Structure 1
Amino acid sequence: MSRLAPAEKRLAAAALVQSLGIGLFMASSMAFFTRHVGLSPNQVGVGLALAGAVALGVSLGGGVLADRFGARRVLAALYVCRAVCCTAYGLVTNYWQFMVVTLFAIAADRAAPPVLQALVAASVTDQPQRTRLLAVINVVRNCGLGAGAMAASAALLSDTLFAYRVTLVAIGAAFLGGAALVLRIPEQAAAPVRDKDKAKRSALPDRRYLLLTGLNFLLSFFDALLLVAMPVWVLEHTDASRATVSILFAVNTGLVVLLQIPVSKLAQGLRRTSRMMTYAGVALAVSSLCFAGAGAAHGWWAVAWLFAAVVALSLGEVVANSAGWDLSIALAPPEARGRYLSVFNLGNAGQRVLGPVVVTGLLLSTGTVGWVGAAVVFLVAGAATERVALGARTGKTAMADA
C-alpha cells in the first residue's frame, strides 16, 4: 500500500479515535443502563431496536446535507452530536430520557458512514488509493473497537456511577477529537449542476442503483450470520464447546484486519470490481454450506467445519466490503453523491435491523435447509450484483475498465 497523504492520515486517525469511543460505549453501556439508570435489559433492547428503525429514514438526511453543505462539515457535526449524546447519557434517569437520547445518537451513527464515504471520495481523487483508504479506515475501526472494549474494563470493574460517567465523558471527548481531525481535511467541492432538471433527477438514485442497493442488502447479511447465527448455531446445533464461539469471533477479527487492505487492491476497474461481488457471493455460499456441515458433524469435525465456515465468511466480508465501497461511489453522480451513498447505506443499516429477525425466524428455525437456502441466495445475489453494476455504467459515473 502506498503511503497515506496527510489528509488521509487525519481521516484514518479520526476513524480510530471515534471507534475507541464506540468500543468503550458498547462494552460499558449495558451495565450502566441496567445497574445505575434502573432500566431492564428488555427495555434497553427494545429502545435500541425502535430507535434504530426510526433512524433508518432519518439517516438519509445526512446525505442531503452533505451534498448541500459539504461532507466535511456534516461529518464533524455528526461526531459533535454523538459527543453531546454520550455526555447526556450520564444525566439520564428514566426510560423516556433514554429513548430521546438514543434516537439522536443512533440517527447520527447511521448517518455518518455514507457521509464519511462521500468525504473520502471528495478528498481522494485516485480510485485505487481511495479504496485502500476505506480499507485502512475499516481496519483501524476494528482495532479501535477492540481497544475501546478492553479499556471499558476499568469502569466495569469499578461498577460505580462516577466511573461510568467519567467513561461517558471520555467517549464524548473521543468524538470531539474525531470532529477536530475531520475539520482539518481539505475537501474538493463538486462542480455545480447547471441543468436543474438533471439535479432534480439525481435527487433519488436511478433504478439500477436502487437494485444494486437491494442486492447489497442481501450480501451484507454476513454481519447477521456472524453476530447472531454463528453463536446460536454453535451452542444449540453442534456439540462444539462454548469457548469455540469466542475463538471464531477472534478468527474473524484477525482475518478482517489482515486481509481487508490487501483485498482492497483488487478493486481496480469496473469489470474487476463487479466480478468481486460474484466472488463474495460464492464465499458466503461456501460459508453457509460449511455451517450446515458443522450441524451434521461431531467432535473435532464439527469444529473444523465451523472454522472453515468463519474463514469463508471473513473472505466474503472483506471482498464484499471492498467492492461495495468502490461501486457505490463510482456509480453515484458527484453532484448527488451524498444522497446516493445514504440510500446505498440503507442496505447495511436495514440488515442491522432486519438481520437478526430473518436469521432466527427463517434460517436457524429450518436448520440445514435454511443454510442451503442461504447459500443459493448469496450465489444469486453476487452474480446479479455483477450484472447490475456493469449495466449501470454511464458516462462520468463509470470507472475505466481494467
Structure 2
Amino acid sequence: MKRKPSKASTRARAALTSIPGGPDGRRMLWINLIDKTGSGLWFAVTALYFVVVAGLSTGQAGLLLGLGGAVGIAGAPVAGQLTDRLPLTRVLLAVQLLRGASSLLLLFAHGFWQLLALVAVGSFAERAASVLTKLFAARVAGADRARYQAVQRTVVNVGYTIGGLGASAALAVGSTAVYRGLLLGDALSFVLVAALVARCAEPPSASRTVTGRTAAGAPLTADPTVSPSNPWRDRGYLGYAALDSAMFLYGCAISVGMPLWIITRTTAPHGLAAAIFVVNTVIVVAFQVRLSRHGSTPRVAADSLRRVAVWFLVSGAATAAAVLHARWAATAAILAAAIAFTVVEMIQSAISWELSVALAPDDAQGSYVGVHGLAQSTSRCVGPLLMTSVVIAAGPIGWIALGAALAAAALLQRRMVLQRLGRADALRQQPGKSPLSVPAVTVSEQ
C-alpha cells in the first residue's frame, strides 16, 4: 500500500518546483548555500587568523586585507568579459577551484608577501564568482530573474548565518587549530561547490550563440562582422553603475557606520552593534522574496527608485536621531534605522539585479554585468573610509547629508534609466533592433 505524501512534503515539493530556472536553478541555490556557509565560517575570523595564527600585527593585517581587496576589484569585469567568449559554467568551475586552492594554500603560507598574494587571488576569484553566479541565475531564470534573485539572496543570508553561528561556537575554544579548521572548512566548501557546478548545464547566451533558431523555427547565424557592444564606451551604463555604487553604501552604513556610531556617539547599549546584524538578516530572510516585485520589470524597477529615495531619507534621519540622550530613545532610533536600511537593501538589490541585466545589450551581457560588478566592489573599498572620516566625523548632520545624497542618487538614476528605456523602445520599433538584453530569438549553443 502506497503511503500518501504529507501536506508538508507536498508544499515543500511545490515550493521547489516553483523556483525559476528548473533543476539547474535549484542546484545553483544549493551552490550558494554551501558557498556562503563556508564564507561565513571564514569571514568571522579572517582578521583574527592573520594576527593569531599567521603572526602579523594588526596594522599588517589591515593592510593585507585592504590591498588584497583592491586587487580583487578586477575580478568582476574580467569574469564578465570571459563569459562573452567562453562557456559560463567552465569559467565558474575554474574560479571556484581557484578559490579553494588559494584558501588551502593559506594554511601553509608564511610571511606578509605570501599571504598577500593568496589573499589577492582569493579576493579576485570571490568577486569573479559573484558576477558569474549572477549571470548564471539571470540566464536560467529568464523573465523570472527578479524572483529568483530574491530567493537566492534569502539562501545567501541563511548560509552566512549558519557559517557565522558555526564560527561563533568554534571561537569559544579559540585555539590555533580551531582557526585552521575554520579556514579548511571554507576551502572544502569551494571544492564541493565546484563539484556541483560541474553538473550544471550551460545556460543559453545570446552573446555566445553560434547558431540558433528564430521563433518561427528558421535557422539563425551570427554575423561575424558585427562587433559586440563595449560597456566602457557606454556613458549611460557607466553613469547608471556609478550611481549604483553610491547607493550600495547602505552596506557600509550597516556594517561599519552604525556599529561605530552606536559605540562612540550614542547612549544605546553597545550590544546593539551586533544586534543590528541579526535584525538585518531576519528581515531579509522573511521579506526579500515578497519585495522582489519591485524589480519585476525594468520600468517597475525604475519607478521603485522613488521608494528607495524615501527610505534613504528615513535611514539617515533615524540614525542621526540616535544621539538623543534618553537611552530608550537612542535604542528605538537605532532599531528604526536598522530596519530602514534593511528595507533599502531589499528593494535596491532587486532593482539593481534587474536593471544591471536589462540595460545591457544582449550581445555583451557578460561584459556589461561585469562592469556593473565594480559598483559594489568600489563601494566596499571607499565606504569604510567615508563612514569614519566624513559621516561619523560630521555628527548627526553627516547622517542626514548621507541620506539626502543617496536619495538624490536614486532619483537621478531613475531619470537616467527611464530615458534609456525610452530610447530602447524607440529603437525596438525599427526592424532588427534589440538594444537591451531582451532575447528576440530562441537560441541554443551548438
Shared fold per TM-score greater than 0.5? yes
Any unmatched runs of 5+ in structure 1?
Answer: none
Partner of 2:384: 356
Please say if 1:130 is aligned against 2:158: no
TM-score normalised by structure 1 residue count: 0.93
Aligned partners of 1:348, 1:321: CA distance in 2, in Å?
A: 11
Partner of 1:379: 407
Question: Residues 68-87 of structure 1: CA distance to partner in whole angstroms, max 9, x if unpaired?
Answer: 11222212211111111110
Q: Measured at CA, do residues 333 and 74 of structure 1 come closer, stay the same or move farther in structure 2, by a change above 3 Å?
A: same
Aligned partners of 2:105, 2:276: CA distance in 1, in Å?
A: 36
Partner of 1:143: 158
Aligned partners of 1:145, 1:15: CA distance in 2, in Å?
A: 10
Give 1:269 deviation, angstroms: 2.4
Q: Which moved more, 1:148-157 or 1:362-371?
A: 148-157
Which residue of the other structure, out of 263, 275, 284, is the alignment partner of 2:291?
A: 263
Give 1:281 deviation, angstroms: 2.1
Partner of 1:307: 335
Partner of 2:262: 234
Please say if 1:80 is aligned against 2:97: yes
Aligned partners of 2:97, 2:243: CA distance in 1, in Å?
A: 33
Please say if 1:330 is aligned against 2:358: yes
Tell me the amino acid that sits aligned with residue 228 of structure 1: V
Aligned partners of 2:318, 2:136: CA distance in 1, in Å?
A: 39
Partner of 2:72: 55
Give 1:203 deviation, angstroms: 5.3
Give 1:120 deviation, angstroms: 1.4
Tell me the amino acid that sits aligned with residue 3 of structure 1: S
Q: Measured at CA, do residues 373 and 286 of structure 1 come closer, stay the same or move farther in structure 2, by a change above 3 Å?
A: same
Aligned partners of 2:386, 2:321: CA distance in 1, in Å?
A: 21
Aligned partners of 1:166, 1:294: CA distance in 2, in Å?
A: 40
- Report 1:22-41 matches (<5 A): 22-41=39-58
Aligned partners of 2:61, 2:381: CA distance in 1, in Å?
A: 15
* Aligned residues of 1:278 and 1:385 also touching (Cα < 8 A): no
**Structure 1 vs Structure 2: percent identity of aligned residues?**
28
Aligned partners of 1:64, 1:224: CA distance in 2, in Å?
A: 28
Aligned partners of 1:346, 1:22: CA distance in 2, in Å?
A: 20
Please say if 1:318 is aligned against 2:335: no
Tell me the amino acid that sits aligned with residue 162 of structure 2: A
Question: Residues 237-281 of structure 1: CA distance to partner in whole angstroms, max 9, x if unpaired?
Answer: 111111122222211111111111110133222221111122112
* Aligned residues of 2:295 and 2:353 also touching (Cα < 8 A): no
Partner of 1:391: 419
Q: Which moved more, 1:64-73 or 1:342-351?
A: 64-73
Q: Measured at CA, do residues 398 and 391 of structure 1 come closer, stay the same or move farther in structure 2, by a change above 3 Å?
A: farther
Q: Measured at CA, do residues 58 and 270 of structure 1 come closer, stay the same or move farther in structure 2, by a change above 3 Å?
A: closer
Please say if 1:194 is aligned against 2:223: yes
* Aligned residues of 1:270 and 1:398 also touching (Cα < 8 A): no
- Report 1:146-185 matches (<5 A): 146-153=161-168, 155-185=170-200
Q: Which moved more, 1:210-219 or 1:108-117?
A: 108-117
* Aligned residues of 2:139 and 2:204 also touching (Cα < 8 A): yes
Tell me the amino acid that sits aligned with residue 223 of structure 2: R
TM-score normalised by structure 2 residue count: 0.85
Q: Which moved more, 1:159-168 or 1:12-21?
A: 159-168
Aligned partners of 2:363, 2:27: CA distance in 1, in Å?
A: 24
* Aligned residues of 1:219 and 1:281 also touching (Cα < 8 A): no
Please say if 1:111 is aligned against 2:128: yes
Aligned partners of 1:61, 1:320: CA distance in 2, in Å?
A: 25
Aligned partners of 1:249, 1:149: CA distance in 2, in Å?
A: 11
Give 1:153 deviation, angstroms: 4.1
RMSD of Structure 2 on Structure 1 (CA):
1.9
Tell me the amino acid that sits aligned with residue 37 of structure 1: A
Please say if 1:285 is aligned against 2:308: no
Aligned partners of 2:294, 2:277: CA distance in 1, in Å?
A: 25
Any unmatched runs of 5+ in structure 2?
Answer: 1-14, 211-221, 429-433, 440-446
Aligned partners of 1:278, 1:66: CA distance in 2, in Å?
A: 33
* Aligned residues of 1:31 and 1:156 also touching (Cα < 8 A): no
State the secondary structure of the residue aligned to 1:296.
coil
Tell me the amino acid that sits aligned with residue 49 of structure 2: F
Give 1:154 deviation, angstroms: 5.5
* Aligned residues of 1:204 and 1:339 also touching (Cα < 8 A): no
* Aligned residues of 1:239 and 1:299 also touching (Cα < 8 A): yes
* Aligned residues of 1:332 and 1:341 also touching (Cα < 8 A): yes
Which residue of the other structure, out of 35, 42, 58, is the alignment partner of 2:59?
A: 42
Tell me the amino acid that sits aligned with residue 137 of structure 2: V
Give 1:333 deviation, angstroms: 1.6
Aligned partners of 1:223, 1:73: CA distance in 2, in Å?
A: 31
